[in-house]
A and B are shown apart, each in its own frame.
Chain A
Amino acid sequence: GAGVSQSPSNKVTEKGKDVELRCDPISGHTALYWYRQSLGQGLEFLIYFQGNSAPDKSGLPSDRFSAERTGGSVSTLTIQRTQQEDSAVYLCASSLGWDRGGSPLHFGNGTRLTVT
């Protein structure tokens, strides 16, 4: 079956513009995670969803970042008034959820965001 799909794969935007990143998880996966990968910084946790609910938004770097998930499926990560420090690869992952004995995360290929 299809894996986690992210779009766009690459996005170049001007400083100050808003961007929207999309994630289509694996069908049936109830948990969805967003991470940011910067050079030398590893994987930075941003937010996760259980169904449509986001119990923990503490990882979002600033109030310019927001995320939503609808229908227990597609999720969008929105960055308003982008800054150069937002440049990174944004990774989405999904899993069956923790009632399945700690099921692993399945990652998409990411969106590479460059803010000029």
Chain B
Amino acid sequence: AQSVAQPEDQVNVAEGNPLTVKCTYSVSGNPYLFWYVQYPNRGLQFLLKYITGDNLVKGSYGFEAEFNKSQTSFHLKKPSALVSDSALYFCAVRDRGARDDKIIFGKGTRLHILP
């Protein structure tokens, strides 16, 4: 069965510094990978996805993520953090080798950007 780990409950970054939110996954086949963001009192929003092709994926709000198959990781990154990036971030995976369409989410990482 597929699973996702987000090892950090919270990440603090100073505004203007680069940020990284970590995600590792486990699947039996190849993965579809996703990042979602949840702003306070708002619904979950899609940020970006990896399906196939280039390992570096670019998404909304200047975020990007790098797929690393050997390390089974899909870390979310941004070169320069903004205070408005403060939110709860979720990594998700679907196993392309599975016979179902189940999508599993991590526990989430709360990102605090300090002014």
Contact = CB atoms under 8 A, between A and B. Distances in A.
B101 A48 contact: yes
Interface in A34-84: 35, 40-43, 45, 48, 50, 55-56, 59
Contacts, number: 58
A104 B90 CA distance: 13
Max chain A Cβ within 10 angstroms of own Cβ: one of B43, B92, B94, B108: B43
Contacts of B42: 109
B61 to A, nearest CB: 15
Interface residues of B, number: 23
Contacts of B36: 105, 107
Contact of B90 (A42, A45, A55, A56): A42
A1 B42 CA distance: 18
Interface in A98-116: 98, 101-102, 104-110
Contact of B44 (A31, A48, A102, A107): A107
Contacts of A98: 94, 101
A19 B6 CA distance: 32
B104 interface: yes
Nearest to B91: A42
Given A35-B105, A102-B32, A107 B100 contact: no
A109 B100 CA distance: 25
B43 A105 contact: no
26 contacts: A31-B101, A35-B105, A41-B107, A42-B106, A42-B108, A43-B92, A43-B108, A45-B103, A45-B104, A45-B105, A48-B100, A50-B101, A55-B100, A56-B100, A56-B102, A59-B102, A91-B43, A91-B44, A93-B44, A102-B94, A104-B34, A104-B49, A105-B34, A105-B36, A107-B36, A107-B43
